[in-house]
Amino acid sequence: MPSFHPEEELLLSYATGSLREPMALLIATHLALCPSCRTEVERLEAVGGTLIDDLEPQAIDDRSLNDLLNRLQDPVTENHVAPRAPTETFERRLPQPLRDYLAHGLDGLPWKSLGAVKQAELLKDFPGYKTRLLRIKASTAMPWHTHEGQELTLVLAGGFTDGEMHFVAGDVATASPAVNHRPVADPGEDCLCLAVTDAPLRLTGPLGRMVNRFIRI
Amino acid sequence: MGSSKIAPEINNAAALAALLADVAERRDRHAFARLYRHFAPRVKGYVMRLGTDPAAAEDLAQDVMMTVWRRAEQFDGKKASLSTWIFTIARNRRIDVLRRERRPEIDPNDPMLVREPNAPADQEIDTAKRHRTLREAVTTLPAEQAELLRVAYFEDQSHSKIAERFGLPLGTVKSRLRLALAKLRPALEESE
């Protein structure tokens, strides 16, 4: 069971649907690995169910109902893609929401080497976010890095130590811009992580500084 | 407002779930029509709160109800109330249609899904009861907490955007939401 979880606020934003796709991908992948956060999201969704029940209904013409009743037997056009069999050991351990983003498997990703770290970008064209899979060679340190915004790192295989903390599969490490960190991969096996950084553009000026200040909490 | 078109509320989660069971088991169009009259106006209201015009909101509500018809047998009343299930369908559909984004979700049948070691595989929740107590609990929230909760659920805005709009520090928005959820927690946990 994971010991490090995303903050409640992120689970709430995932449940309400306001979380953007890159962060939602990280949260959903964590949920596959974390039964307690899964239960929490189910609870938060139950709140949504209650609120929608009390929402002021907007009248709908009975004609719309009749239209729909006439269409009920229409053939289903949803294209269902058959799940692809995992091809390599690493991949076998990846839970579903992430597998959906790896159409050609882990090997089909455009990996780039940065010393002992290989990285591949997902959701490349998504504005305002950086979504990467990182593969860190066992026992090696990641290069120093800084980033704007908040960075969440979900361990998928192996583990790493950052300062006093040790992260293993399913754990989410949350780093704010204030944190200078230098994770070191565990010995024995390479560490595979999904890292998502949101770098909001409004981080300058008085309001931006205020936002920054709260993000650091 | 043609409020006469809104059917009297079926104020009973169990009754709604029974209608869905009729749809799932017998493809009962009459039961479906009753579900439609209850949920479609609410889904339309939900989508309109996201800033969508009435016609587009109605199209999306139709879409959601079509999904309810097609996936009726996938509904598991021991995990979620019907309102909750429909909320999640509407949420995912509006992310898809209005934001043109994919919605990453777990697959409950994924062999990679990590399960609680000591819990029964399928924990049963009295979802109808939970729905009832939760609904009551929501009415006891202080107005400013209830309002923020609705905005958080219905307006597709990040918490920092909400803070900006209300002229509140982000920390205040976060703590009000946390307080609201803390007050609802007993109702959420009671029936588990």
Express each pLDDT in A83-122 by its tens digit. 555 555 556 678 989 998 998 888 889 999 988 889 999 9
How much is the pLDDT for A54? 85
Cβ neighbours for A55, distance < 8 A, ≥ 6 positions apart: B42, B45, B46, B49, B154
How many domains is chain A partitioned into structurally?
1
Supply the pTM of this predicted model.
0.89
Q: Over pLDDT 70: what percentage of chain B?
A: 91
CATH code of residue B27: 1.10.1740.10
Task: Tell me whether residue B179 is in a domain.
Answer: yes
- Which residue of chain B has the CA closest to A68? B62
B66 with B128, same domain: the answer is no
Q: Tens digits of per-residue pLDDT, A51-60?
A: 998 888 999 9
Q: Say which residue, A142 or B191, is predicted with more confidence.
A: A142
CATH code of residue A91: 2.60.120.10
Q: Answer yes or no: is pLDDT of B123 > 90.
A: no
* A61 to chain B, closest Cα gap in Å: 7
How much is the pLDDT for B131? 86
- Taking each helix axis from N to C end, the angle separating B29-49 and A35-54, rounded to the nearest 10 degrees, works out to 90
Q: Tens digits of per-residue pLDDT, B51-108?
A: 899 999 999 999 999 999 999 999 998 889 999 999 999 999 999 999 999 999 999 8
ipTM: 0.92
The pLDDT of B150-170, averaged and rounded, is 94
Distance, in Å, from the CA atom of B28 to the CA atom of B21, rounded to the nearest integer, reads: 9
Task: Tell me whether residue B139 is in a domain.
Answer: yes
Interface subset of A 45-64, CB within 8 angstroms of B = 45-62, 64
Cβ neighbours for A75, distance < 8 A, ≥ 6 positions apart: none
Q: What angle do CA A200, A203, A206 make, to 5 degrees?
A: 145
How confident is the prediction for chain A on average, in pLDDT? 84
Q: Does A80 touch chain B (CB under 8 A)?
A: no
Q: What angle do CA B136, B142, B146 make, to 5 degrees?
A: 70
Task: Tell me whether residue B163 is in a domain.
Answer: yes
Are the Cβ atoms of B87 and A49 closer than 8 angstroms?
A: yes
Range of the domain at B97: 7-105
How many domains is chain B partitioned into structurally?
2
All residues of chain A having their beta carbon less than 8 Å from the beta carbon of residue B64 are none
Three-state secondary-structure class, residue B110: coil
Three-state secondary-structure class, residue B176: helix
Are the Cβ atoms of A55 and B46 closer than 8 angstroms?
A: yes
Cβ neighbours for A210, distance < 8 A, ≥ 6 positions apart: B169, B170
How much is the pLDDT for A108? 87
Range of the domain at A88: 1-217
Are the Cβ atoms of A21 and B102 closer than 8 angstroms?
A: yes
How confident is the prediction for chain B on average, in pLDDT? 89
